[in-house]
Amino acid sequence: MFRCGIAYPRCRWIVPLLLLFAIIFDIIAIAATSGWVEDEDAKSDYANMWTRYRGRKEWIGKSLMEYSWAQAVAALMIIGLLILIIAFIISCVALCCSLNITLLPFIGALLILVVILQIIALIIYPVKFNELIFEGNYYYTWAYGFGWGATILSIGCAILFCCLPRYEDELSGLAKTKYIYSSA
């Protein structure tokens, strides 16, 4: 006999783990030195969130922090990361230590705030960077993609945290398992 159902008690561990992955992705995006943007040849120009490097044999770095848009991007990404860390800590307390359903919508609201901040930052960066340069084609690299990955994970976790209070009995293990598919 084969049965397929949703094991809600596992969400108590999986959702904070997803938040941990979002934190790791954010740290990678913020701390990446290899760049968020590189030219199509990847030989003469690249930039990370903090600095733009140009050159052929010797790389000359110029800080992007002299531009207000780059400061805004850095501030939004760091504030988003800090709020994400706070949401992770609260989610561990709410789900892993004891089941505190009343904190779940608050965590969802924090994650929605993180998503808003990071989407703004991840849109400002390419728009303003493209205004800064006029020559050549540029590609956005894996480090920029990790920023989007953290944002997408945060969107999914925000939806989960907003929906989980409806399944309090299932999360606590008091409800009977509902099988999606059962073969006899």
Instruction: For residues 47 and 42, give the distance between their C-alpha atoms in angstroms, rounded to a whole number.
Output: 11
> What is the chain's pLDDT, residue by residue, as a tens digit (184 residues)?
455 556 666 767 888 899 999 999 999 999 887 777 877 766 677 778 888 877 777 778 888 888 898 899 999 999 999 999 999 999 998 887 777 788 889 999 999 999 999 999 999 988 887 787 766 677 888 888 999 999 999 999 999 888 877 766 666 565 566 666 666 5
In this structure, the number of other CB atoms found within 10 A of the CB of residue 38 comes to 20
Instruction: For residues 166 and 149, give the distance between their C-alpha atoms in angstroms, rounded to a whole number.
Output: 27
* Fold of the CATH domain 2-179: Butyryl-CoA Dehydrogenase, subunit A; domain 3 (1.20.140)
Q: Where are the domains of the chain?
A: 2-179
Question: In this structure, are residues 64 and 70 in contact, taking their beta carbons and an 8 Å threshold?
Answer: yes
- The residue assigned the tokens 């020559």 is 135
Measured over the CA atoms of residue 108, residue 111, residue 117 and residue 121, the dihedral's sign is negative
